[in-house]
Amino acid sequence: VENQLSMMGRHEKNILGSDVKVKLGTVLHGAYVDSLPSTEGLQHGRDATVAVRASQHLGNKYCYRLGIDDMNCATQISKFSLNPTSLGAKCAAHHRQAVFCSELAKFRSLDGSCNHPHHPAWGQSLTAYKRLLPPHYDDGFQSPRGSRMNRELPNARLISTTLSKNRDSPDSSVTLATLQWGQFVAQDLSHTAVSKMCEYLCTDGTKLLVLLTF
């Protein structure tokens, strides 16, 4: 797993050295800046990559050899504790982080902490979401869910544009605040840090070195 992370780092350096550039102010430039993960978020993403790769290794080594299907294999592996591993300390340390909440604070915190008086870490950034249902990955670990016919499901964007046509339909019962709230929720769920290049470098003021996220 560590070799794979090192390989990702080498790919990043190769791309940086290939002189690929993107213009400032373009959609690609905006997408990169908007999705740039923090250093702490990047580390959590790399730790998660290690955990997923280790789980897949266990599945390939034991489950498939014994004829255990993907879902049952993932369910059993998810019961293993990370405490005895190198990731255990990182997970435990993160969950043990002390959260100080001031009763005199006039506004809610930017990172979501202290929004619940009895559980100050609930909803805080860089904490795990609570699942309402068990995961259903196609390979049991991380692949997007497929159909019952072992095929890819239809593109989510295609379904959205097919069912919700782009029509001008004013609604007097809601305001633009509804739209903005939807954006907050959507981006909170979708902005997951995995990897990033080093800090971006401006060249001649009109172009930006491409920094891709994996």
Residue 169 lies inside a defined structural domain of this protein: no
* Each residue's pLDDT tens digit, 126-155: 777 777 887 888 888 888 888 888 788 888
* Each residue's pLDDT tens digit, 173-197: 888 888 888 888 877 776 655 444 4
Percent of the chain with pLDDT over 90: 0
Interatomic CA distance for residues 53 and 4, integer angstroms: 9
**Full domain range(s) for residue 48:** 19-96
Residue 164 lies inside a defined structural domain of this protein: no
**Nearest in space to 212 (alpha carbons), one of 35, 5, 23, 2:** 35
Q: Which two tokens stand for residue 11?
A: 């790919």
Q: How many domains does the chain have?
A: 1
Q: Which two tokens stand for residue 114?
A: 């202290």
Residue 64 lies inside a defined structural domain of this protein: yes
Residue 186 lies inside a defined structural domain of this protein: no
Q: Which two tokens stand for residue 156?
A: 């989510």
Average pLDDT over residues 109-135: 81
The kind and range of the H/E element at 209 are strand 207-209
Q: Residue 185: how many CB atoms within 10 A of its CB?
A: 10
Residue 120 lies inside a defined structural domain of this protein: no
- Provide φ and ψ at 202, rounded to 5°: -80, 145
Average pLDDT over residues 28-56: 77
Q: What is the pLDDT of residue 27?
A: 76
Residue 41 lies inside a defined structural domain of this protein: yes
This prediction has a pTM of 0.62
Q: What is the pLDDT of residue 96?
A: 52
Residue 85 lies inside a defined structural domain of this protein: yes
Interatomic CA distance for residues 47 and 173, integer angstroms: 45
Lowest mean pLDDT among 19-23, 70-74, 116-120: 19-23
Residue 4 lies inside a defined structural domain of this protein: no
